Amino acid sequence: MSRKEPVPTARGLDQLVQALRVLPGVGPRSAQRMAYHLLQHDRPGAEQLAQALSGALASVRRCARCNNFAEEEVCALCRSPRRDASLLCVVETPGDLAMVEQTLSYSGMYFVLMGRLSPLDGIGPRDIGLDRLLERVADGVVQEVILATNFTNEGEATAHYIAEMLRSRGIKVSRIARGVPLGGELEYVDAGTISQALLDRRGI
């Protein structure tokens, strides 16, 4: 054993492996694989990634109205005169906003919580900007707030909390519909969804 040397390493490589672990879902093994791949096969890509990181850190901030990521004080969507300013859709993340936009069936405004209430993780009303949501809703133009948080426990709790908060201030609040998804076969849909679809049945 006395003849053993420590494993030889390049310090810059170790630092890169360590730094890659800030990425969500990246553990020690994949960080190592990523570092090897970049240094071995894609140095131009690594260069671009370094620049994109610095660029985004410098340019990306929050829209003052919808709280989404933006490069201006107020984002293009919030500035658009063609959107219906009387509707405000509340979503958890920018990804959720993009999904709603892709439907091409909504032309109102948005508010992005950038999260959900999660007392266990210490995420309370202020952490998801509910004070700013209240301000936003008080502009005298918004007529209805549509809650489009996820149908998870935390998303439901968040929707419930926001609904209580806004209703007490006399604002109309709605929740997007729960039910059997399009193309869904009852045999493969979970019981909870079916029981909700029965409860929320509508006359035809």
Site for a copy of itself in 107-166 (CB under 8 A): 107, 114
Specify whether the CB–CB gap between 74 and 81 falls below 8 A.
no
CA 86 to CA 202: how far, in whole Å? 26
Least distance (Å) between residue 85 CB and a copy of itself = 12
Q: Mask 45-84, x = binds a copy of itself (CB under 8 A)?
A: xxxxxxxxxxxxxxxx-------xxxx---xxxx-x-xx-
Least distance from a copy of itself to the Cβ atom of residue 62, Å: 9
Q: Within its chain, how far is the Cα of 45 from the centroid?
A: 26
174 binds a copy of itself (CB under 8 A): no
Angle at 97 between CA 93 and CA 101, to 5 degrees: 165
End-to-end distance of the chain based on CA atoms, in angstroms? 81
Q: What interhelical angle do 28-41 and 11-20 show, nearest 10?
A: 120
Answer for which of 88, 91, 94, 128 binds a copy of itself (CB under 8 A) is 94
Site residues (vs a copy of itself, CB under 8 A):
1, 3-5, 7-13, 15-16, 18-20, 22-25, 30, 32-40, 42-43, 45-60, 68-71, 75-78, 80, 82-83, 93-95, 97-98, 101-102, 104, 107, 114
